[in-house]
């Protein structure tokens, strides 16, 4: 990958590649999930230590068969073993369910794929009647075998008792001097066990990610697959190729997502929510009939119904809006609550504040919440109007119905239902002249 980050920790749709594989495995409700890692792989284990898996060290990298041997000692004989790969993130649950259905007490199920260019893959070698005979790795294949287009994906399912027996019989007399898991197929055939193949629905589903180009291909495939599922469920998407869903997304009816929208973490959109182009929504909830205009960033916020947001608005964590709130262009809200039908339409900052209902925050108003060491709260009552370019220096309380004159810097409590002006008196100096530059 030409990266300091291990391959299986490379991000796909905002999560490590391996995490996608683990999530798919968990969706099958297995008795246990094992992750086999090699020397230096402790970084992977540390990064995903919260995952409910059993970590198994492969002390020497002696091949895929040897890797599986490390996990087998604790697996009961009467279980079925499903083998997946940490760098194959797009395999679907439905495919694996079909594969597992093909297994039995003396049956092994193998996932294959037909490729136009099979370079690098092991080839599926069949008998005259079509039964699978063995798998041959590319480095060990003859010229005739190299012409085969049906390839091994490495994904298989088998009864643990027989798999353990076949793994013990593996030999490393091949060009790589490794114990190939693929050799299990020939051993199964020799043991008169039935090998049942299942062809993957598409090559992209079994794509192994080995470089940044393949990572981009996987990202595009994941993006389109997710968009397709959402469209079938009723979401209108302007361009399925330009939507990124990087987490859990729930939604109501008639949701519209414009181009280049990114949804991260846990996102919930109500009925008839519209999200404009270039917006990023992370770990947030947005109520019915709210419209998010272009290029907004909404992070860990709860936004009520019938709100208008943006364009170019930013919500930092722990912000909550009531219903009918308007947050306009270049407005930032951080750790604040704004009541129903309040407005901050232009160029304002609302930080660490409790804002009442029907408040109008004038253009350029700033709630100055930070003294250089500590954050302080501001309370603004219902029906307050602040004039343009006002500064409210926290901690401060602005009484209900108060009006603050434009350009005021307010540092003391503002009484309710009064006009408060706090600015220097305007003075004109008639004799003053603007300095002139010296000619060079």
> Any idea which residues carry the catalytic annotation?
346
Q: Is the preceding omega at residue 311 within 30 degrees of 0, hence cis?
A: yes
* CA-wise closest residue to 170 among 158, 183, 159: 183
- 420 within 8 A of 401, measured Cβ to Cβ: no
Q: At what angle do helices 160-168 and 64-71 cross, to 10 degrees?
A: 130
Whose tokens are 């490495």? That residue is: 154
Cβ neighbours for 180, distance < 8 A, ≥ 6 positions apart? 63, 64, 65, 137, 170, 174
- 401 within 8 A of 383, measured Cβ to Cβ: yes
* CA-wise closest residue to 304 among 328, 282, 277, 322: 322
DSSP for 268-336?
EE-TT-EE-TT-EEES-EE-TT-EE-SS-EEESEEE-TT-EE-SS-EE-SSEEE-TT-EEEET-EEES-
What are the angstrom distances between the C-alpha of 296 and each of 251, 310, 436? Answer: 19, 6, 43
Whose tokens are 């020799």? That residue is: 190
Label the pairing between strands 80-83 and 150-159.
Answer: antiparallel
- 32 within 8 A of 14, measured Cβ to Cβ: no
Q: Return the bridge partners of 314, or none.
A: 297, 332
Q: Return the bridge partners of 265, or none.
A: 247
What are the angstrom distances between the C-alpha of 371 and each of 53, 138, 376? Answer: 47, 67, 8
Q: Is the preceding omega at residue 395 within 30 degrees of 0, hence cis?
A: yes
Q: How far is Cα 18 from Cα 5, in angstroms, rounded to an integer? A: 13
Question: CB neighbours (10 Å) of residue 279?
Answer: 24
Q: Return the bridge partners of 309, or none.
A: 292, 327
């Amino acid at each position: 990958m030409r990266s300091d980050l291990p391959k299986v920790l490379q991000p796909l749709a905002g999560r490590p590649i391996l995490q996608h594989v683990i999530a798919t495995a968990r969706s099958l409700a297995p008795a246990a999930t094992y992750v086999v890692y090699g020397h230096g792989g402790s970084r992977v284990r540390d990064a995903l230590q919260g995952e409910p898996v059993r970590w198994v060290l492969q002390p020497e990298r002696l091949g895929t068969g040897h890797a599986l041997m490390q996990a087998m000692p604790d697996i009961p004989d009467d279980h079925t073993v499903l083998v997946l790969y940490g760098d194959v993130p797009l395999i679907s649950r439905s495919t694996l369910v079909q594969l597992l259905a093909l297994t039995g007490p003396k049956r092994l199920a193998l996932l294959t794929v037909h490729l136009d260019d099979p370079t690098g893959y092991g080839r599926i070698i069949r008998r005259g009647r079509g039964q699978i005979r063995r798998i041959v790795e590319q480095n060990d294949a003859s010229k005739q075998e190299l012409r085969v287009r049906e390839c091994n994906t490495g994904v298989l399912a088998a009864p643990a008792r027989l798999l353990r027996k076949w793994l013990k019989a593996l030999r490393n007399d091949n060009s790589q001097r490794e114990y190939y898991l693929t050799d299990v197929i020939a051993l199964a055939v020799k043991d008169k066990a039935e090998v049942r193949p299942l062809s993957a629905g598409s090559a992209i589903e079994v794509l192994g990610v080995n470089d940044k180009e393949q990572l981009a291909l996987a990202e595009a495939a994941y993006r389109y697959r997710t968009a397709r599922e959402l469209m079938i469920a009723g979401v209108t998407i302007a361009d399925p190729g330009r939507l990124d869903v990087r987490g859990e997304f729930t939604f109501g009816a008639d949701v519209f997502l414009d181009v280049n929208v990114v949804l991260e973490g846990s996102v919930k959109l109500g009925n008839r929510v519209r999200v404009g182009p270039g917006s990023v929504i992370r770990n947030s909830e947005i109520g019915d009939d709210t419209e998010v205009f272009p290029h907004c960033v909404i992070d860990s916020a709860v936004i009520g119904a019938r709100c208008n947001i943006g364009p170019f608005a930013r919500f930092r964590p722990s912000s909550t809006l009531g219903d009918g709130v308007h947050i306009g262009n270049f407005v930032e809200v951080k750790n604040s609550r704004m009541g129903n039908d309040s407005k901050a339409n232009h160029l304002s900052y609302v930080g660490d504040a409790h804002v009442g209902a029907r408040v109008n925050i004038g253009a350029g108003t700033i709630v100055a919440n930070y003294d250089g060491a500590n954050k302080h709260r501001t309370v603004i009552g219902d029906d307050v109007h602040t004039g343009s370019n006002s500064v409210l220096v926290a901690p401060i309380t602005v009484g209900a119905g108060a009006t603050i004159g434009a350009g005021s810097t307010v540092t003391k409590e503002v009484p309710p239902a009064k006009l408060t002006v706090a600015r220097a008196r305007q003075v004109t100096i008639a004799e003053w002249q603007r300095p002139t530059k010296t000619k060079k």
